């Protein structure tokens, strides 16, 4: 991947509790009447690596293509194939590989521009199971952590815009200033180890109504770090309130690196 392609495909990590709009941030948002109230990434451009094997929380679930790896080995095979396909410069060869991929997984890659991994937390659990089956003793711990590093390196090399979703985990209460980080199962990667591998880490930030029920009326992305969580982004990449809309996020990233 060239330096320009690497800038255009900066992977973004999105962290937040269940139901906080992480997956919903990928595409269009509808109201109760079925009207689009937020233009997101068109569903035909999105491929979700649905590691948690759960129904997608969007009206467009039937239009978004998904891969559902049952094991870490299967995930790794899929990711290796995606890397080779989208790295291929010869369009004829690429089309042949896309056809073979469709025959294997019934996923059409011709319009795909965004890959979402949902979730890294579930993926590291699968890696732990793989290590426990494949190794013994200290090697389980060692290979588990090494493999997480390999997975992260492959995500950064993927020639697609990649959104990595994760659940949160708080540091132990005995920590001096306990913060919340991405939840992963590898001890060496906990409490900031994952976040340091990403340039952009966004946290969901729900906005609550002022009535007695205090229901969620909107969700923003937090991109500035504070004492409570691990959000981060280059200074000036985002300004003001940032909606949980990955289309707007990638537009801002593009403008930042292109000097617009």
63 and 43 Cβ atoms separated by less than 8 Å: yes
pTM, two decimal places: 0.92
Distance CA 124, CA 147 (A): 9
Q: What is the pLDDT of residue 73?
A: 94
Residue 67 bridge partners (DSSP): 49
- Give DSSP secondary structure letters for the chain: --HHHHHHT--EEEE--TTSSTGGGGS-EE-TTS-EEE--S-GGGEEEEETT----SSTTGGGSEEE--SSHHHHHHHHHHHHHHHH---HHHHHHHHHHHHHHH----TT--EEEEE-HHHHHHHHHHHHHHH--THHHHHHHHHHHHHHHHHHHH-SSEEEEEE-EEEPPTTSSS--EEE--S-GGGTTTTTGGG-SEEEEEEEEE-SSTT--EEEEEEE-S--SSB--B--TTSS-S-EES-HHHHHHHHHHHHHT-
115 and 143 Cβ atoms separated by less than 8 Å: no
* CA distance readout (Å), 40 to 24, 109, 114, 126, 221: 9, 19, 12, 30, 14
Q: What is the pLDDT of residue 186?
A: 77
User: Domain with 236 in it: what CATH number?
Assistant: 3.40.50
What is the sign of the dihedral through the CA atoms of 105, 107, 112 and 115? negative
Q: What is the pLDDT of residue 232?
A: 97
List CB contacts of 30: < 8 A, sequence separation 6 or more.
36, 37, 59
The residue range of the domain holding 50 is 3-258
Q: What is the pLDDT of residue 5?
A: 57
Q: What angle do the packed helices 72-87 and 138-157 form, to 10 degrees? A: 30
Q: Which ranges of the chain have pLDDT less than 70?
A: 1-8, 30-37, 174-177, 212, 260
Q: What is the pLDDT of residue 259?
A: 75
Distance CA 143, CA 145 (A): 5
Q: How many domains does the chain have?
A: 1
Q: What is the pLDDT of residue 82?
A: 98
Distance CA 131, CA 18 (A): 27
Q: What is the pLDDT of residue 217?
A: 77
Q: What is the pLDDT of residue 227?
A: 86
């Amino acid at each position: 991947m060239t330096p320009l392609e690497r800038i255009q495909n900066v992977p973004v990590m999105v962290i937040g509790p269940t139901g906080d709009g992480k997956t919903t941030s990928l595409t269009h948002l509808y109201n109760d009447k079925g009207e689009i109230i937020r233009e997101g990434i068109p569903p035909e451009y999105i491929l979700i690596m649905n590691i948690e094997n759960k129904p997608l929380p969007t009206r467009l679930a039937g239009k978004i293509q998904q891969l559902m790896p049952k094991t870490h080995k299967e995930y790794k095979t899929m990711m290796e194939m995606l890397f080779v396909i989208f790295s291929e410069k010869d369009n004829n060869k690429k089309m042949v590989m896309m056809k073979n991929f469709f025959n294997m997984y019934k996923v059409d890659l011709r319009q795909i521009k965004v890959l979402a991994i949902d979730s890294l937390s579930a993926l590291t659990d699968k890696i732990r199971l793989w290590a426990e089956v494949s190794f013994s003793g200290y090697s389980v711990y060692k290979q588990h952590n090494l493999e997480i590093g390999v997975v992260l390196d492959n995500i950064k090399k993927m020639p697609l815009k990649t959104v990595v979703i994760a659940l949160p985990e708080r540091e132990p209460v005995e920590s001096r200033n306990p913060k919340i980080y991405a939840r992963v199962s590898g001890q060496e990667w906990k409490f900031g180890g994952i976040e340091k591998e990403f340039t952009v880490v966004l946290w969901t930030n729900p906005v609550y109504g002022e009535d007695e029920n205090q229901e969620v009326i909107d969700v923003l992305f937090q991109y500035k770090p504070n004492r409570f969580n691990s959000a981060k982004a280059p200074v000036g990449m985002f300004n003001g309130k940032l909606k949980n809309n990955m289309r707007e996020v990638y537009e801002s990233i593009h403008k930042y690196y292109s000097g617009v």
